[in-house]
Structure formats: C-alpha cells, structure tokens
Amino acid sequence: MYSVRLWAARHPRIFEVAYNAFHPVLTRLQPVWKAMGEERSEKVVGKVEQLSKELLFDCKMCGQCILSSTGMSCSMNCPKSMRNGPCGGVMQNGHCEVKPEMRCVWLEAWEGSQKMRQSDLIQVVQTPVDHRLKGSSSWLREARRASQPQQEGRHE
Amino acid sequence: MSSATPPTPGTHDGSAALPEARGRLEQVLRAGNFAITTEIAPPDSANPQDVYDRAAVFQGFVDSMNATDGSGANCHMSSSAMCALLSRRGYETVMQISCRDRNRIAIQGDVLGASALGINNILCLTGDGVQAGDHPQAKPVFDLDSMSLLETITGLRDKHQFLSGRPLSQGPNVFLGAAENPFVPPFNLRAMRLAKKVAAGAQFIQTQYCFDLPRLRNFMHQCRDLGLLEKCFILPGVGPLASARAARWMRQNVPGVHIPDAIIERLDGAHDQKAEGRNICIEMIQALQEVEGVSGVHIMAHRQESSVPAIVQASGALSDRTPWAPEMETEPLASTATA
Ligand code: SF4
C-alpha cells in the first residue's frame, strides 16, 4: 500500500533495528529450516515474509532483498527496476517520470538511507537482479548465508 | 594545422603520444584539450547515405558523435549500426546502449560485436521509459541498470569474462562513458551517484542539458570534494533552444530536462528567438570552459544540427584545434576551420 510504504521509508530506523534483531534469530533457527526441507520452509517463511513486506514496503519478492541499502524503500517499485540510484528522469517535484503520481522511489531511498545507521550502504554498487530468485525468501537466503560464513559468491 | 588530432579511423591503436588511449576522443581528453562531442540522430531509414549525410554536417567541428539508441524510446536505426558505418569512414563515435530494450545476453553480444567493428567508445544508459516514445505497447526490459551495465562491460574488458564468468579470448577495448543529470532531484545524491558510476567503470560523463549554471557548479564542487575530477572527464550537455515555445514544451514533456524561467523569459523577449537560443548556447559553452573540472561539452542540437559548426566556432572552445575529419586525409579543412 502506497501510504504505508511511504511511512515505512520515512521511519527506516525502526526497521533497521527490527531486522538486526530478527536476523540472528532466523539464522539460529537454520537447523529448523533445514529439517523442514527447502520447499516447506520456503512456503512457510516465504509466505510470512511476503505478507509482511508486501504490506510494509510493497515488496515484489525479488528474492534478493536490498532494503537495508535503500533506506527501506523497495527499489523494485521503480518502473525501470533501478537498483543503483535514481534515473535522470526524476521530475522537478521529485515524482517519477514513468508514473507521475508516485514519488521517485530513489528519493525516498536516499532520504531514508540518511536516517539509518548504515547510511553508506546506498553507495555500494548492486549486481544485476538474478531473475531465478523471484518469489523466493530473502530471509531464508540470508539465514543460510550467515550460517555458512566462509562461502563466497555473488548471490549466495 | 599542427594541433589537428591525428587520424586513427575506427581503430583501437590510439596515437603514439598516448598509447593507452583507445580512440581520438580519449586522446583529446587525456591531452587536456576541451573536447566537443555531439549527438547524431539516427535516421528512420535503412539507407547508409542518410547516416553519412548527417555526419558530414559536423565534420571538422566535433571530436566524436554519439549515435543515440532509441532515444526518447522512439524507434530509429540502431546505434551500433550507425557507429559501425561511421567508423568505417574514419569518424569517431560513441555508441549508446540503453538497458530498456535488451537483456544482458543481447547487450554483451552487442558490445563484443561493436568492438570488433571498430567502435571504441560506449555510453551506458538506463534509457527512457517506453511510455515516452512511439511504441508505448512495448515490453520494458531493464534487465540491467546503467550501473550494472557499466560493471558488466568493465568485466568484459578488464577481466575478459562474461557476467556469467565464462572467459573471453579477447575483451572489447572500449572507453566507457555514463550519463548524469545534475539538474533533477535528489541534488545531493547526484555527485555520489556519479562516484558510484566511476566505481563501476565510467571514464567519461556526458550530462543532460545544462541551462542552470549554478546547479552545475554546485554539482562540480561536490564532484571535486569526492575526488571525482581526477577520475573521470565530465562533459556537460548543451544545446540551442529553438524558441520560448519549444523550451516550454521540452521542459514539460522531455523527462529530465530542466530549463529555468530566466532562460525562457530571455527567449520570449528576443526579437529573433532562434538566434537568441544559439547565443544562450554559445555563452553557456564559454562559461563552462571556466568551470573547474569541465573537460568539454556535449552538444545536443536536435533538428538544429546545421547550427552546430557556427556555435562551436563562436564559442571559441576549439581554440586553434581542428578535430579530425575524413576529408582531411586528402585536403585540409583550413577554409572551414577558420570560416
Ligand atoms: S523517476 Fe525514480 S522511480 Fe521513476 S523510473 Fe526513474 S528512478 Fe525509477
């Protein structure tokens, strides 16, 4: 919902704190997710993730969440799927060139990021979206990654 | 003329003086000359002569021509084909790639092909939304964005590998550019976003139309503070406005174009609005030569291409330099260069 999304991006600190508290719990539960099997854990956790993030951020379940780098403004709401900052078409009033009724998601992102502790994460160049991951849970992916710290790679 | 840039038509070998330069544009910039680039509009035709005719207008006055890639989301001849045709004649070109129409598979293939065809400059763009053009029914691709496009081509060139990691036997040796628009919000993010583009591989920057010098100066200061002026060449965009009406229309309808009221009022009050539009452009080029960190200008004179030589001449931006043009191999352009 647009108004909730705007509110969330204007109070990103709350979600930064919440996620930082939530993430270790998810990671600690990794054995549980493993025991449940990938399909079932995806179904359960993925559904919870989808419902809550859809409500709060208009999440598109890209499966590779970068909300903490984008001031809690979901960049997948950008009609050009920009993952690295605003395009050159932002209108003088800050609205989107493609959807003039919407404020540019990257303006929300920039303002939001400045309110967060990790405000410089927005400067990191994001790799292209892996379209295979659409619909899957970023939470579980993060939990899996955190429980295998030595593993390196682009998206896993 | 001794300062004319040497001909290295459509090759990668650069000049003896600057062995690392990939083409004449890079040579001119690295040599510290004030570079002039312009936009060449691709024709709505399959006739190569249309391309040559459009290029001939600029010859001897510009260091490179950007062939646009479906600009404004309108369909025209492709940028890669334009650049390939032109580089065979020895012209220096900048191929533009927009992320709107092709995915990472198509783009990487095009970059290899373009380099094989002798294209040595590539400008990485996100592209206008399809709603802006003549095919609003089209599927917007946007598989990459300008930033990941830059990183992808840097990977092809420097790591000799595709985005997938699969190796190349030879990478495309290209000079990489990106666009920036310092004239639209969020103003305080624009220089930082440029820093991100430089980190992703941008070596030269062409901006959206500059009609607002204070905003540009502010942006350049921020770039300087971020240490970007040593890392990339910045060429602000300029162009002649045809009339106050045209300026109002552009401001209203072309995404990303910012024209202050003062400019429109000045046009409104002019006896000959077209001439005034050119004067504004000339004055802007002159003013930009004085701005720290500005390495040249990118002239976008849509439907006013024939006015570019006179604008360049009047601005004095080339000093006594004559950018190389095909005819110079047989006869020097002394007469046009001083006309
Ligand atoms: S204006 Fe903002 S939201 Fe709209 S396409 Fe550009 S970056 Fe995306």
CATH number at residue B135: 3.20.20.220
Half-sphere exposure (CA, 13 Å, Cβ side) for B336?
Answer: 19
The amino acid at B177? G
Number of domains in chain B: 1
Contact between residue A5 and residue A107 where contact means Cβ atoms under 8 Å apart: no
Question: If you average pLDDT over residues A49-71, what whole number do you get?
Answer: 93
In the reported structure, the alpha carbon of residue B125 is separated from the centroid of ligand 1 by a whole-number distance in angstroms of 14
B88: enclosing H helix or E strand: helix B79-88
Say if B11 falls within a structural domain: no
- State residue B14's pLDDT score: 36
- Which atom in ligand 1 lies closest to the alpha carbon of residue A85? 7
What is the pLDDT of chain A when averaged over all its residues? 90
- Whether A97 sits inside 8 A of B142 (CB atoms) is no
Q: Please name the residues in contact with B184: beta carbons below 8 A apart, sequence gap of 6 or more.
A: A86, A88, A89, A90, A91, A92, B208, B256, B258
Question: Domain span at residue B146?
Answer: 24-243+279-315
- Whether B144 sits inside 8 A of A111 (CB atoms) is no
Say if B1 falls within a structural domain: no
Tell me the residues of B at the A interface, defined by beta carbons under 8 Å apart: 99-100, 104, 126-129, 131-132, 140, 142-148, 151-152, 163, 179-181, 184-186, 188-189, 192-193, 195-196, 199-200, 208, 255-256, 258
- State residue B328's pLDDT score: 61
Hey, what are B210's tokens?
Answer: 């500059």
Closest by alpha carbon to B188, among B218, B214, B208, B230? B218
- Whether B126 sits inside 8 A of A80 (CB atoms) is yes
pTM of the model: 0.90
- State residue B3's pLDDT score: 45
- Chain A interface, mutation test: which of B108, B124, B126, B181, most A Cβ atoms within 10 Å? B126
Say if B46 falls within a structural domain: yes
Tens of pLDDT, residues A104-149: 999 999 999 999 998 899 999 999 999 999 999 999 998 888 888 6
Contact between residue B74 and residue B119 where contact means Cβ atoms under 8 Å apart: no
Q: Which residues of B58-67 are buried (b: 16+ CB within 10 A; e: fewer)?
A: bbbbbbbbbb
Identify the residue whose C-alpha is closest to ligand 1 atom 8: A78
> What letter does residue B165 receive in the DSSP assignment?
S
| B66 φψ region: left (φ > 0), alpha (ψ -120 to 50), beta (else) | beta
Ligand 1 and A89: CB distance under 6 A:
yes
Cα B29 to Cα B8, B295, B297: the distances in Å are 15, 7, 11
Domain boundaries, chain A: 2-147
Say if B224 falls within a structural domain: yes
Say if B248 falls within a structural domain: no
Ligand 1 and A106: CB distance under 6 A:
yes
Cα of B52 vs its chain's centroid, Å:
18
Query: Which candidate from B104, B199, B258 shows the least CB-CB separation from A125?
Result: B199
- Whether B142 sits inside 8 A of A83 (CB atoms) is no
In the reported structure, the alpha carbon of residue B128 is separated from the centroid of ligand 1 by a whole-number distance in angstroms of 10
- Which atom in ligand 1 lies closest to the alpha carbon of residue A107? 2
CB-neighbour burial class of residue B12 (10 A; exposed 0-12, middle 13-18, buried 19+): middle
- Whether B185 sits inside 8 A of A104 (CB atoms) is yes
- Whether A98 sits inside 8 A of B192 (CB atoms) is no
Query: Which candidate from B128, B163, B188 shows the least CB-CB separation from A89?
Result: B128
Concatenated DSSP letters of B191-205:
HHHHHHHHHHT--EE
Residue where the block lists tokens 């003088």: A92
| A81 φψ region: left (φ > 0), alpha (ψ -120 to 50), beta (else) | left
Residues of chain B falling short of pLDDT 70: 1-19, 327-339
Q: Indicate the Cα dihedral angle B97, B101, B105, B108, nearest 10°.
A: -10
Tens of pLDDT, residues B227-275: 999 999 999 999 999 999 999 999 999 989 999 999 999 999 999 999 9
- Whether B147 sits inside 8 A of A84 (CB atoms) is yes
d(CA B108, CA B157): 11
In the reported structure, the alpha carbon of residue A104 is separated from the centroid of ligand 1 by a whole-number distance in angstroms of 5
- State residue B80's pLDDT score: 97
In the reported structure, the alpha carbon of residue A125 is separated from the centroid of ligand 1 by a whole-number distance in angstroms of 17
Residues in chain A with CB shorter than 8 Å from the CB of B147 are 83-85, 125-126
d(CA A112, CA A115): 5
